[in-house]
């Protein structure tokens, strides 16, 4: 199937929401970037890759979907690349039912660290190196 099937609800099993066009140039470029990171392929789960370019996610389709108890704003012109999720963590925390879907820009180096260490740190967290994560000067003017 080419493109996306509409659904009123976010479906963690994905069957009713998206059928990815593997010939999409936008998706291919995103996958090429991931390949350039030289990370083990076992990290990624391509069945959860979703492309939101204009060819794959039509302009007349919904901009917002229900996602658990929150709303999922379609990130138009972005590509989502799936990663494998630890099934024990998934079940214990009920992540598909209780976690909000978000998108966060980051650097290539930070993305590699997130993939390698399987965690997303926030300012103030102590990193594996022993240092503390801080906000880069000027990144968020009202924060230090």
**pLDDT > 90: what percent of the chain?**
24
What end-to-end distance do the CA atoms of the chain give, in Å?
48
**Under a CB-based contact definition with an 8 Å cutoff, are residues 85 and 94 in contact?**
no
What is the tens place of the pLDDT at every residue in 102-131? 777 778 888 877 877 777 778 888 877 888
Domain boundaries, given as residue ranges, for the chain = 1-103, 106-144
Query: What is the full DSSP assignment across 25-87?
Result: HHHHHHHHHHHHTT--GGGB-GGG-EE-STTTS-TTS-SEEEETTEEEE--TT-EE--B---H
Tokens of 92: 């214990």
Phi-psi region of 130 (alpha: psi -120 to 50; beta: other; left: phi over 0): left
pLDDT over threshold 90, residue 26: yes
- Residue corresponding to tokens 């079940």: 91
- Per-residue pLDDT band at 9 (split at 50, 70, 90): very low
pLDDT for 53 equals 94
Q: Would the pTM of this model clear 0.85, i.e. be above it?
A: no
């Amino acid at each position: 199937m080419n493109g996306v099937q509409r659904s009123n609800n976010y479906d963690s099993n994905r069957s009713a929401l998206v059928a990815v066009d593997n010939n999409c140039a936008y998706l291919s470029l995103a996958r090429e970037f991931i390949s350039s990171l030289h990370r083990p392929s076992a990290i990624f789960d391509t069945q959860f890759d979703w492309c939101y370019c204009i060819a794959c996610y039509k302009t007349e389709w919904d901009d917002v979907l229900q996602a658990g108890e929150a709303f999922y704003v379609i990130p138009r012109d972005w590509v989502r690349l799936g990663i494998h999720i630890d099934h024990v963590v998934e079940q214990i925390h009920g992540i598909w039912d209780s976690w909000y879907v978000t998108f966060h820009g980051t650097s290539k180096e930070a993305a590699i660290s997130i993939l390698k260490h399987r965690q997303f740190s926030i300012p103030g967290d102590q990193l594996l190196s022993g240092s503390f994560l801080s906000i880069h000067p000027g990144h968020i003017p009202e924060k230090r």
